[in-house]
Every structure is written in C-alpha cells, then in structure tokens.
Structure 1
Amino acid sequence: MSSPPSALDDGQELSTQGKSFNLTDIIMTNHVKIFDTTLRDGEQAPGFSMTSGQKLKMAKALEGLGVDIMEAGFAAASPGDFEAIKTIATEVKDSIVCSLARCNEGDIRASGEAIKPAAKSGRGGRIHTFIATSPLHREFKLKMSMDEIVRRATAGIELARQYTDDVEFSCEDAIRTERDYLKRVVEAAIKAGATTINIPDTVGYTTPEEIQSLFEFLASDIEGADSVTFSAHCHDDLGLAVANSLAAVRGGARQVECALNGIGERAGNCALEEVAMALRTRKDFFGLSTQLKTEGLYGASKLLATITGNPVPRNKAIVGKNAFAHESGIHQHGVLANRETYEIMKPEDVGVSTDNLVLGKHSGRAALKNRAETLGFELGDNQLQSLFVKFKHLADEKKEVFDADIEALILGEAVGEIGPWALESLYVSAGSDDGKRPVATVRLHHEDGRKETWSQEAAGPVNATFLAISHITGQPLHLDSFSVQSVTEGEDAMAEASVMVSTEFSSYHGRGTSTDTVLAGARAYLDVINRIERRADRQKSIAAQH
C-alpha cells in the first residue's frame, strides 16, 4: 500500500498522474468505519447477556467512543431485544443504530419498526440483513438452490429499503463461498439497493493473505463496487480476527465489524480496541484512520467487563492490566530512560492514567469528580452525589483510596440497576473448631417494605451466605462459579467478587465489591437474584402489552 498523502489544508488539491483530488475526498476514502457489534454478536455469546438497561449503558459508552455504527441487537429474536433496540435508537444521537435481520419478511419488518426512532430523528437507522451463500449452508442449513438464495437476498433488501436507505447485506459464510457465485450474489444485492456489502468470515477460517486477495477481487471485479462500502466481519477461531480484518482493509474494506474486548460467538470477534489502535499506531503503514476517541477505550472495556461479569485477561492487548506494565529490570530501565523503548503507544491514548492520585476521607466532591473525569468517566449530578456517599464510606474503611478503588465504585454505580432486594446486614462466623460449622445471618430489605432475616449453616461462610439469600428470596440457584480478585493492593484492598449461577433455562452472572470478601460475594449473589427478578418483571410487562 502506498504511503499516506502529506498533510494539506482543507479544500487544497493535489495532482497525481494528471488527476486532481480534493482533500475531503481523500479523507473519506481513507476513513475506516467502525461497526460495533458488542450489543448483538457479543451479547448473544454464552455468559455475556445484558439487560435492556445495561445494553443502553453500553450503547451510550459506544456512542461516546465515536463508533460509526452500532448493531444494537436482533429485533426478531425476542420482545426484549426489540424493545432494547428501539430504546437505543431513541437515546443514541451520534452513531447510526442498526438491527440485524435474516432475509425474511418478519425479521426485516421487526428491524424496520425497531429503528424507526432513529429514522425520525433525521440521522437514520440501518437494517443489516443476511443469508448464507456457501455450499455447506446451501445444502444442509437452507436447503435452497443458488437461484432461490439470490431471489431471497434481493427481496429482503428491497423490503428493507422501504424502511431506510441505509441497508447492509451480508453473505453468511462468504469465505467458503465460490468466488463466481459470491460475485453474482453481491452484484444482485447492489442492484437491489444495498449500500454496504459485508463479507463475513463466519467460522474464523481464513488467513490474512486469502482475505486480502478476496477483497481486492471484490473491489476490482464487482459491478457497482464504487457505489458501496465493503465491510469485513472476522471471527477469532484461529486467533486471526484482527490480522484478517486489517488485511481486508488493505484489500479495500472500509468498514470493520468488531466488538469491545473481542467478545462474540465461540472464540469471539475482531477486538475493536486492537484494530483501532493498530490503524492509529501504524498509520505510517496503513495510511488510514477512524473517528474513534481512543482515550475512552479503557473505560468502555472496564464497563463491559463489569456489566457482563467477564474480567479482561491481564495480558489482553491494549486494555489488559499488563498492557503498559513492566516488571523486567531491563524493560524498566529502558522505559525510565525513554518510554518509546518498550511502549509503542502512550497509556493515555487509550485512557490508562499514569498519575495514580491518592484520595482520602478529607477529599471533596470536586476532587472526586476531577479524578473520575481523568479516568474517563463523566458523572451527572445525581450520580456524583451517590458516588460521593459511597466514596466517603470507603475512605473511612481505607487509609488511601486509589484509582482502581474509584473505578470499582463508578462501575458498580453503572451496573447496579435498582433491584427489588437490598442487603441490610450480614454477619458470618467461621473457624476450625470441632463440631462447629460456619453460620451466616443475612438481613434483606425488599422494595415492597418487607424485611427478612435468616441464619444458615453450611460447609463454608460464603456458601452459608448464598444459601441464606436464596432462602429469603425464594430463588434456589445452582452456583457454577465464584471468584474474588483484589482491585488494589494492601491489607485494606477492595475485593471484586463475581458469581455465575444457572437455572433450568438460563445462566446469570453477578458482581459485587467491598473491602470484605464475603460481603463482596453476598452483593454479587444478590445482584444475580435482582437480575432474575427484573427480567421476570420485564417479561410480564411485555406480555401484558402484547
């Protein structure tokens, strides 16, 4: 790929081989759209489900990052997904809101209705419709002929165009589709009115060289290629999602479909933060850019991890805890001399603060708000007031409150939707005396005014606490996993507990924080129960409306 053009003033022209190009056109050509599917492909993966309120919080964070398009869900999948997309389409102002739909009338009409608030706002919404094209899918899943698939694709796009001019079409399993047939389907889609053509590596099978060649073929051999945006959607089954997405961009793709923290079906999707920082850090090589505000990546990543209960691995690129940490003596010496010896990005570029200011019980609201803003969080007055009360309680328990403590409090506020149950008190006894078993006494308060207390014996204090909460709430759950990690260091460190539980039909995760590990676990377990009861209430409400 050729080197990027030199910097020019807006409107200035440059001449290449006798042709003049306006700078605005060059910028548009060199702009890679970020299509975020955290709320659809990411959220539908096992263990990553979100409530409607949590999806809206993530949508606002993605909007703050500056993603061009956010795929908010699959409108036809459930009434809950439909309502979540509709709410996001109403609330989000700066990103295009998209709904996924199969190439059938029911799906497309549901998506069209869900994105209507975005269309009414003037910024428009997108319908992303798809049908499989590979021989395997044609024969075993769809049981359709090549001609029938083309007809379905064309009809689906034409119906979607009745709701919006912004229609994206995907050839599911495109990588394993014959090139001549892929060409036929894509050309039919363009003629039907699709404005974006997505070429997904649905099963994470391709390689960088292969996908780059495919996109070069599409850009040069497809009739109407100059009227659409080509998009890449790569899965990480072979650990190549980011590499394949970047290769597709080199081949002519100008939209990348990705998800925060790389979440998604099976091994996940192309990681938004990785592809964005690769394009930014190696702009000398790619000559391309995005409109992302990368300083918000770390905060958005932490929010997603907190909402889903799935922590980011320490060694995760860009947003992992070790991404900018140096323990080796040789590395530390080099970084002290010049950070560029071992760091190709500045921590601040992705929102990682290097100034770990310590706050204490004498710190005021202004200092707390300033620190939160430095960490990438904007707090409203009500949120700041609620956070300040919790901060003061924590400051009384700890000598010093560090950035990680403040993050934990803020993220707890973000995740903690109001639930019917609240923990009033917890007392546990534990030890190794013969004949004595740990006991937990739990007191809960319900929003209807009830107060319930129960004492429970068990093999351990955490187990006793969970059983007591289950008894009071009437929610017998199967505990799949329980983990606790320290948020900060020291004897008075904040503990972050995560639980995964399951019922006969669903699995849920919860999160809680405290300087007491058992209390953190109790809050996480109660968070799960509140999620279950909130979901049941929403389903009753939706059923009543229909």
Structure 2
Amino acid sequence: MTVRRVKFFDTTLRDGEQAPGNAMDPAAKLQLALAIESLGVDRIETGFPASSASDYEATRLISRHLVDATFASFCRAVPSDITVAVSAGGTARHQIQIAATGSDIHLEHKRRISRAEGVHEVIRCIKHGRSLGITDISVGIEDASRGPDSLLRELAERSVDAGAQTLVVADTAGALLPVEYGQLIARFRSWVPESVMISTHCHEDLGLSTANALAGIMAGADEVQVTLGGVGERAGNTALEEIAALLAYKQDATGLYTDLNLEGMYEVYTLLRHLISLDEPRNKAIFGTYAFSTAAGMHQQGMLRNPATYEFVQPSQFGRERGMFIGRHSGTSVLRHLLSELHIEVDDHTLQDLYHTHILDRKGDCEDLSVVKARLASEFGSAASISTSTTQSGTQ
C-alpha cells in the first residue's frame, strides 16, 4: 500500500495565542517557534502582523531565525494587511494566509457585505500579494463548515484562478461531524486541481477536532493545521500531538504517515505551558499528567506483568514516563510487587492488614509507588535498596 505524508501547519502562535491568557511577547514567540521547528513541522504561523506591533515584531524575528520550517502570517482580506505582513517578514519562504468569509451568517451579521463583495475582496488581495512578490498565497475560508456549496466553490475556484496555492477549509465553530467534514473536504478536492494544497482547520467545540481533521486528511486534504496541546479559541484547536499519534500508530489503517519528532513534543509543550502559565490537564491524551498512569488494581496487575495490557501508546515515544500510583482502587498485587522488590515475605493475614493500611483506608488521595515502597521499607526495617525507577514499572 502506498502511504502519503501529511504536512503539519502549526498555528500555536496565532490561533493558539488568541485564547484568553495565552498572549506571548515577541521573544517568547521566537523561543517557542524555534522549539516547534525542532519537531519537524512544515510551516509555523507567526501571528497577525497588522494587528499589533507585537505580532509585527514576532513575525520579523521568526522569519529571520527559522531554518527548516517555512512561515505564514495571517491577514484579513485587506490589501494593507498584506503590505504590513510583507514588510515584517519579506517574501522568501513566506505564506500569506488571507481570511475569506465562507458563510452567509458571517457575511450578513459579522461583515455586512454581499457574497459578491466577499469574493471580490479576496481576489483583490491575492492579486495585491502577488504584486508584492509573494509566491505562496493561502486562502483561509472562515466558517466554511456552515457555508453553502455555491459560495464555497466560487471562492475556491476563483481564488485558485487568481493565484492561490492553498485553500484552508475551516470548521470555525466546530460544528461538523467527522463524516460531514470529510465530505466537505472531498468536495473541495473535486473543485480544484490536485496541485492545489487543501488544509484542514478544526475546532474542539463538540470535542471532534482531532476526529474531523483525521477525516479531512483521509478524504484528501494535504495538510493539517494544529496547535500544541490543542490550545486555541474557545474549546481549542486540533492538537498536534493527537494527530501525530494517530498517524504514527494507525499508518496501516489510514495510509498516512508523519515523520515528526514525537519524542520531543512533550518538552516543547512544557515550554509552552511555562510561557503562558498554562496548567497541565490531568487526563488529556498524550500530554495529560496521568495520560500514562494508573491507580486501578486490575490494570496494575496486568501492567506489572506486561505494560501492553493497558497501554496502546508507548509513553517513551512521546518523551513521557509510565506512572503507577497507590490509591483506594489499587489491589494487593501491587503491594506484593513492592514487597517482592524489598525481599520481604509476608503471610496472607499480614498482606490484608497492609492492604487496609496503605490502600483501603485512603480517603481518595494517591501516591507514587516509590513513596509507598519507602514507607514499607521503613515499616519492616528493610535494608533493601529502594529504586524509584523499578517501582514505576520500567518507566520506559
């Protein structure tokens, strides 16, 4: 089977930064951009240069320091926005992303312009960008998921005819099911030549951004727009690490692959959290605090024998470690495991006493195995070496 490489467009610095509390100064954005580049993404969106001096400076800095990744800047369908973006980032390796209005509700209530006016302003800006020397122009069709095909097709075909090389199909409000978004991408694919890149842009309002993005690339999209940890407007965007994991683990099923640096992702996400003071979620896929941890007795019994019993994604592949915790739902198996490591033998009655003391009588808190192991060693006066690495069930 032929497999197809999916391109990654990271918009952490633009759409991710738009969420409340996520603003970064230019120096921080440069630091994060270089870290994201180290993951192997194809393109990094620097921000919206015409919106502020900060985004202008961030675009200027990032455009001068990226080595492998290309960069993009966001512009409204206003010629002066494009002029400012080119002033900040130049024309080399610079994609201009022009925002198009893709639905009647946006045309009527947000923009207060007609369909014809909405199409005309985009075409005018594509031509303006080309006149400034920009050779990579993307049209991001906002709210395409709620737009009529008649408008979407006209935007797509006329944008390509005017010189756009990429069309971004945005599910701006996170309104579609995966099957619906996949069908929408397939229609776009049928409207334009194969040489035109189609990019997904999905939001998490119904918890479907990753599923929708996957449906989109399986339906023919070439590129997926993502953010680290899914940060972004409202409920967020498609998470970089989730799509990367899907492509890494489901290549045979999807016919798609990625060559991103998976192992470095958590370190870069940790940098993002530091820069914007973002709390780490407990249970988010891949990046959650306890994404690779368990405190359940039945699960621990299996994982102590073979981690694959409850672990499909390998934590080490994403720079994470496996964790085991003693909590109220743990069982005697984990106690036997710790006692065995300490070379302590107990009868069944003593084991039940230990179970009540260390597990059953807990009020809901949990502790790492290494903590409980140390307590058992102290309780029994064991001189055994206490190895935190072994108590985490071979953390790799």
Bin for the TM-score computed over the shorter chain: 0.7 to 0.9
CA distance in 2, matches of 1:337, 1:196: 50
Q: 2:186 aligned to 216, 225, 233, which one?
A: 216
CA distance in 2, matches of 1:40, 1:282: 29
CA distance in 2, matches of 1:354, 1:205: 35
| Paired letter, 1:268 | G
Verify the 8 A CA contact 1:133 1:182 in the aligned structure 2: yes
Q: How many pairs were matched up?
A: 327
1:159 Cα shift? Answer: 1.5
Q: Does 2:169 correspond to 1:199?
A: yes
Q: Does 2:227 correspond to 1:259?
A: yes
1:336 Cα shift? Answer: 2.5
Verify the 8 A CA contact 2:47 2:74 in the aligned structure 1: yes
1:320 aligns to what SS in structure 2?
Answer: coil
Matched with 1:141 is: 110
Verify the 8 A CA contact 2:95 2:134 in the aligned structure 1: yes
| Paired letter, 1:198 | V
CA distance in 2, matches of 1:45, 1:336: 41
1:354 Cα shift? Answer: 5.6
What TM-score, normalized by structure 1, do the two folds share? 0.58
Matched with 2:31 is: 57
1:339 Cα shift? Answer: 2.1
Matched with 1:306 is: 274
CA distance in 2, matches of 1:71, 1:282: 27
CA distance in 1, matches of 2:110, 2:83: 23
1:352 Cα shift? Answer: 1.4
1:164 Cα shift? Answer: 1.9
CA distance in 2, matches of 1:70, 1:36: 5
CA distance in 2, matches of 1:207, 1:110: 37
Which structure ranks higher in relative contact order (CA pairs < 8 Å, sequence separation ≥ 6)? 2
CA distance in 2, matches of 1:354, 1:325: 6
1:275 Cα shift? Answer: 1.0
1:194 Cα shift? Answer: 0.9
Structure with the largest fraction of strand: 1
1:159 aligns to what SS in structure 2?
Answer: helix
Structure 2: stretches of 5+ with no match in the other structure: 324-366, 372-396
1:52 Cα shift? Answer: 1.3
CA distance in 2, matches of 1:165, 1:337: 57
| Paired letter, 2:181 | I
Verify the 8 A CA contact 2:77 2:122 in the aligned structure 1: yes
Matched with 1:240 is: 208
Verify the 8 A CA contact 2:100 2:119 in the aligned structure 1: no
Matched with 2:137 is: 167
Verify the 8 A CA contact 2:282 2:290 in the aligned structure 1: yes
Verify the 8 A CA contact 1:72 1:99 in the aligned structure 2: yes
Q: Does 2:259 correspond to 1:291?
A: yes
CA distance in 2, matches of 1:160, 1:285: 40
Matched with 2:148 is: 178
Matched with 2:344 is: none
Matched with 1:227 is: 195
1:113 Cα shift? Answer: 1.6
Verify the 8 A CA contact 2:138 2:165 in the aligned structure 1: yes
Verify the 8 A CA contact 1:99 1:114 in the aligned structure 2: no
Q: Does 2:20 correspond to 1:46?
A: yes
Q: Does 2:43 correspond to 1:69?
A: yes
Question: Identity of paired residues, percent?
Answer: 40
1:353 Cα shift? Answer: 4.2
CA distance in 2, matches of 1:132, 1:328: 50
Correspondence list, 1:438-457, <5 A: none
Correspondence list, 1:535-546, <5 A: none
What TM-score, normalized by structure 2, do the two folds share? 0.79
1:219 Cα shift? Answer: 1.4
Q: What RMSD, in angstroms, separates the aligned Cα atoms of the two structures? A: 1.9
CA distance in 1, matches of 2:271, 2:301: 33
Question: Which range moves more in the overlay, 100-109 or 160-169?
Answer: 160-169
1:168 aligns to what SS in structure 2?
Answer: strand
Verify the 8 A CA contact 1:295 1:351 in the aligned structure 2: yes
Question: Which range moves more in the overlay, 193-202 or 145-154?
Answer: 145-154
Matched with 1:349 is: 317
CA distance in 1, matches of 2:193, 2:51: 32
CA distance in 2, matches of 1:203, 1:274: 20
Matched with 2:54 is: 80
CA distance in 1, matches of 2:66, 2:81: 22
2:194 aligns to what SS in structure 1?
Answer: helix
CA distance in 2, matches of 1:339, 1:159: 57
Matched with 1:19 is: none
Matched with 1:506 is: none
